[in-house]
A and B are shown apart, each in its own frame.
Chain A
Amino acid sequence: MSEQQLFKVTIDNITIEVAPGTTILEAARKIGGEVAPPAMCYYSKLKGSGGKCRTCLVEVSKGSEKDPRPMPKLVASCRTTVMDGMEVKNITSERVVDARAGVVELLLINHPLDCPVCDQAGECHLQDLSYEHGNAGTRYEFQRRTFKKHDLGQYIQLHMTRCILCYRCVFTADQLTNKREHGVLDRGDHAQIATFIEKNLDNDFIGNVIDVCPVGALTDKTFRFKNRVWFLKPVNAHCDCPKCSGKVTLWYRGEEVFRVTARKDQWGEVEDWICNECRFDKKKTSDWVIEGPREISRQSVISLNHYVGMQKPKETFEAVMDGRKPRMFMDIHDVSEVNRPDVDLSLIDGPAHSDDFNKTNKKD
């Protein structure tokens, strides 16, 4: 193979050499850390993805060695390829930080921050993004979008209120399954993910839409609300599957496999797609050959575990709502069997386990 000429690109004052055709985002990911812009819609494994959410905007302060003029507008780093000598500002650009905060505010207009009841909490890219770039409050005071419940079949549940229209699931369905059955209906802020006339999503590989969804809009019916990810132990395992690579992560609590997912890298992207059977039907340890614990490098709370000191929570609701009083739609005790008023979590030694809720654990 002949020597390929590499392009030099400097991102936030760090220089790296990459092959021509590399996007700014991929180059930044090679450097890693904070230099890598957040990405809500780009997914390196999906052809044509990216460009839509606008969270990865960066400033190109020097176009290239040949044409050093800066680019006038911020560009989507996930869809802009590097030029030799390009200089890019990500977190070192005030314009970028400002624009990104704007995107976050806009994304949160129609995305409730109901992390406490969302199945994606702990693994949610939007949660990270709003934590890093968002404001404490919102200036939006109108009614949010609401949707009729839409059943997508036996495996997958759609919570359209949480969808940020990143199109990842549409690309996944388009590129991985032999029959695409869902897509985007309507335009603008009425746009929604939907199936064609209430069809089921039951193609062999359709389960992957759950893994690619950056938020909690698509959830696994065999797992949802059964546990919080930070109580689970991820373990790499494989099986001899005729349809897919069979390489998965099992999520254990005690002896029980609660969830099976594809293995995700530090950017939250799957390493190999897996089939529905592996994901939804093989929930016994005996179905798998266990390889060992999986290290989670980012994009999940379980990669953190570095709590420093203790902070008492304070009431933030009113402050966040700009002085407006919250309206309570429900009392969690009315709808949840789990949070029984007679169970006092603080009295339980260690994390709560399903057994704890079966016993009557009265305060004394």
Chain B
Amino acid sequence: MGIKLLLDKAHVEGIRSYEVYRREGGYRSVEKALKELGPEAIVEEVKKSGLRGRGGAGFPTGMKWSFIAKPEGVPRHLVCNADESEPGTFKDRYLMEFLPHLLIEGLIVSSYALGSNATYIYIRGEYAWIPDILEEAIAEAKANGWLGKNILGTGFDLEIYVQRGAGAYICGEETALIESLEGKRGNPRIKPPFPAVKGLWDRPTVVNNVETLAAVVPIINMGGEEYAKIGVGKSTGTKLISACGNINKPGVFEIDMTISVEEFIYSDEYCGGIRNGKRLKACIPGGSSVPILPANKLFKTAKGETRYMNYESLADGGFASGTMMGSGGFIVLDEDQSVVKHTYTLARFYRHESCGQCSPCREGTGWMEKILKRILEGKGKMSDIDLLWDIQRKIEGNTICPLGDAAAWPVAAAIRHFRDEFEWYVNNPELCLTSNYGLAHYADPLEVVTA
């Protein structure tokens, strides 16, 4: 059994209620943080922990916190990013649904560290039932003196507000989220200025992912140094992985980042292997925007070393032979799956979710979707594959926000690793509509992997 820091109490009966959560040791970190540590020491602990943001980019949280501007007399804000709209990612939902008090606890400590007296949880509209759970937890916390005025007699005041989004992926991007919180259209802002200097209502703001903020609780409880001992290299602590696709046991798993990708897929503790005894074809390990990897590049790095479930190992080899940890949305494709179809589905998603501000993303995502659709329908041309490559290249890196990259990478990786499959669609127009392209048509059989 791997170590569990976030989900260790998830299966305790009634843990959603304050009484049980408190009985199980909840809110200890608040006492320690407010009474013993003080804001600067909390930031120090988080820095020592090596915690990296769990929202996708993996930026060190302690460093991000230390960037927050502290102009005299200007309020600061903490915003919890609970928008979680990346396809394949559903770990934050699990955390909020089953352990709402863990998030509230993390929010109190983090707000205190950052000097935020008004903290917001921006939650995606489709999670319709979760705001009620969070609000109930907030009310309980307040009734027990963990929120409101003069918390624990320290003079620190804090209110936490839950704000529902209207259901737009782009509102997960931190500056678009801020715009949306301000009541405007969710268009990303042009950076700089960064939110740490000018964020919500032009005030210094930190935006952090749900899991990141929840992880602050064990960091304070056990101390940053102890936390950093879990994991490996710059991938410290534990990570929640939401696994889905053609596996036997989809779900949310807490891992310490020392297990191999192969073990994660095949061991019974985690995904439990590929469903129906099929073979593994490919995997998108970090949420839909990170590059897809074929099975033969997934378990071993380009140097032939074992690939592990952590930031560095997954990224090893760059985009040529590696991918990214991203948000931990682990999507597994078996031999019957068509990469072209999946790529089309993703392209459709990104096209629909582009905010439309910048020309490469607005027009490029739509164009890619149409070409992919044409290929799928058996009307594609060989030149379409190069055209797709060219379009994604013109989007990547040239847009206001990273949605452009998120739309470009899946297309690039699919062509890079599965070009022959695209060619198959072009060469077999009559079969496109009737067959689900999978390994059966695959010229170069993949390495067969056994646990």
Chain A interface residues (CB < 8 Å from chain B): 50-55, 57, 73-74, 76, 79, 99, 102-103, 105-107, 109-110, 139-140, 142, 164-165, 167, 183-184, 186-191
A224 to B140, CA, bound (A): 65
Give the residues in chain A near B397, CB-CB below 8 Å: 73-74
Give the residues in chain B near A164, CB-CB below 8 Å: 359
Chain A residue with the shortest CB-CB distance to B394: A102
Q: Which of B170, B359, B397 has the most CB of A within 10 A?
A: B359
Residue of A53, A79, A142, A184 touching B359 (CB-CB under 8 A): A53
Chain A residue with the shortest CB-CB distance to B381: A141
Q: Are the CB atoms of B358 and A191 closer together than 8 Å?
A: no
The answer to whether the Cβ of B366 comes within 8 Å of any Cβ in the partner chain is yes
Residue of B351, B393, B398 touching A54 (CB-CB under 8 A): B398
Give the residues in chain A near B387, CB-CB below 8 Å: 139
* A-B contacts, 6 listed (Cβ < 8 Å): A52-B358, A54-B399, A79-B190, A142-B367, A188-B365, A189-B363
Binding site secondary structure of chain B: helix
The answer to whether the Cβ of B278 comes within 8 Å of any Cβ in the partner chain is no
Give the residues in chain B near A140, CB-CB below 8 Å: 367
Residue of B353, B357, B360 touching A103 (CB-CB under 8 A): B360
Give the residues in chain A near B365, CB-CB below 8 Å: 188-189
Give the residues in chain B near A52, CB-CB below 8 Å: 357-359, 400
Chain B interface residues (CB < 8 Å from chain A): 168, 170, 185, 190, 351-360, 362-367, 370, 387, 393-394, 397-400
With A99-B398, A103-B398 as known contacts, state yes or no: A191 contacts B356, CB within 8 Å: yes
Q: Are the CB atoms of B357 and A189 closer together than 8 Å?
A: no
Q: Are the CB atoms of B352 and A53 closer together than 8 Å?
A: no
Chain B residue with the shortest CB-CB distance to A51: B190
Give the residues in chain A near B400, CB-CB below 8 Å: 51-52, 54, 76
Q: Are the CB atoms of A57 and B398 closer together than 8 Å?
A: yes
Q: Are the CB atoms of A188 and B360 closer together than 8 Å?
A: no
A165 to B363, CA, bound (A): 11
Taking the nearest CB of chain A, how far is it from the CB of B311, in angstroms? 19
Chain A residue with the shortest CB-CB distance to B404: A54
Q: Are the CB atoms of A102 and B398 closer together than 8 Å?
A: yes
A139 to B397, CA, bound (A): 22
Q: Are the CB atoms of A106 and B359 closer together than 8 Å?
A: yes
Taking the nearest CB of chain A, how far is it from the CB of B78, in angstroms? 25
Residue of A53, A74, A103, A188 touching B355 (CB-CB under 8 A): A188
Residue of A76, A99, A106, A165 touching B190 (CB-CB under 8 A): A76
A167 to B400, CA, bound (A): 14
Q: Are the CB atoms of B359 and A187 closer together than 8 Å?
A: no
With A57-B398, A139-B387 as known contacts, state yes or no: A189 contacts B190, CB within 8 Å: no
A224 to B240, CA, bound (A): 60
Q: Which of B360, B362, B399 has the most CB of A within 10 A?
A: B362
A183 to B355, CA, bound (A): 14
Q: Are the CB atoms of A187 and B352 closer together than 8 Å?
A: yes
Q: Which of B185, B352, B353, B394 has the most CB of A within 10 A?
A: B394
Q: Which of A54, A110, A188 has the most CB of B within 10 A?
A: A188
Give the residues in chain B near A183, CB-CB below 8 Å: 185
Taking the nearest CB of chain A, how far is it from the CB of B247, in angstroms? 32
Chain B residue with the shortest CB-CB distance to A57: B398
Chain A residue with the shortest CB-CB distance to B361: A188
Q: Are the CB atoms of B168 and A74 closer together than 8 Å?
A: no
Q: Are the CB atoms of B363 and A107 closer together than 8 Å?
A: yes
A186 to B357, CA, bound (A): 11
Give the residues in chain B near A73, CB-CB below 8 Å: 397-398
Residue of B354, B360, B364 touching A187 (CB-CB under 8 A): B354
A183 to B387, CA, bound (A): 33
Give the residues in chain A near B351, CB-CB below 8 Å: 188-189
Give the residues in chain B near A190, CB-CB below 8 Å: 356
Taking the nearest CB of chain A, how far is it from the CB of B22, in angstroms? 43
Give the residues in chain B near A109, CB-CB below 8 Å: 363, 366-367
Taking the nearest CB of chain A, how far is it from the CB of B373, in angstroms? 9
Taking the nearest CB of chain B, how far is it from the CB of A324, in angstroms? 13
Taking the nearest CB of chain B, how far is it from the CB of A61, in angstroms? 16
Chain A residue with the shortest CB-CB distance to B363: A106
Give the residues in chain A near B398, CB-CB below 8 Å: 54, 57, 73-74, 99, 102-103
Q: Are the CB atoms of B354 and A167 closer together than 8 Å?
A: no
Give the residues in chain B near A189, CB-CB below 8 Å: 351, 354, 356, 362-363, 365-366
Give the residues in chain B near A139, CB-CB below 8 Å: 387
Give the residues in chain A near B190, CB-CB below 8 Å: 50-51, 76, 79
A99 to B360, CA, bound (A): 10
Residue of B353, B354, B358 touching A53 (CB-CB under 8 A): B358
Taking the nearest CB of chain B, how far is it from the CB of A40, in angstroms? 8
Give the residues in chain B near A106, CB-CB below 8 Å: 359-360, 362-364, 367, 394
Chain B residue with the shortest CB-CB distance to A102: B394
Taking the nearest CB of chain A, how far is it from the CB of B89, in angstroms? 20
Q: Are the CB atoms of B363 and A187 closer together than 8 Å?
A: no
A190 to B352, CA, bound (A): 9
Chain A residue with the shortest CB-CB distance to B356: A191
Give the residues in chain A near B355, CB-CB below 8 Å: 187-188, 191
Give the residues in chain B near A74, CB-CB below 8 Å: 397-398
Q: Are the CB atoms of B358 and A110 closer together than 8 Å?
A: no
A164 to B352, CA, bound (A): 18
Q: Are the CB atoms of B358 and A188 closer together than 8 Å?
A: no
Taking the nearest CB of chain B, how far is it from the CB of A188, in angstroms? 4
A139 to B393, CA, bound (A): 15
List 19 additional A-B contacts (Cβ < 8 Å) besides A102-B398, A140-B367: A50-B190, A51-B190, A52-B400, A57-B398, A74-B398, A76-B190, A99-B398, A102-B360, A106-B363, A106-B364, A109-B366, A142-B370, A187-B168, A187-B170, A187-B353, A188-B355, A189-B351, A189-B365, A191-B362
Q: Are the CB atoms of B394 and A99 closer together than 8 Å?
A: yes
Taking the nearest CB of chain A, how far is it from the CB of B248, in angstroms? 37
With A54-B398, A109-B367 as known contacts, state yes or no: A187 contacts B356, CB within 8 Å: yes
Taking the nearest CB of chain B, how far is it from the CB of A39, in angstroms? 13
Give the residues in chain A near B360, CB-CB below 8 Å: 54, 102-103, 106
Chain B residue with the shortest CB-CB distance to A98: B394
Give the residues in chain B near A53, CB-CB below 8 Å: 358-359
Chain A residue with the shortest CB-CB distance to B354: A188
Q: Which of B352, B357, B370 has the most CB of A within 10 A?
A: B357
Chain B residue with the shortest CB-CB distance to A145: B366
A76 to B397, CA, bound (A): 11
With A99-B398, A103-B398, A165-B362 as known contacts, state yes or no: A188 contacts B367, CB within 8 Å: no
Q: Which of A54, A99, A165, A191 has the most CB of B within 10 A?
A: A54
Q: Are the CB atoms of A186 and B370 closer together than 8 Å?
A: no
A167 to B358, CA, bound (A): 10
Taking the nearest CB of chain B, how far is it from the CB of A67, in angstroms? 15
A164 to B358, CA, bound (A): 10
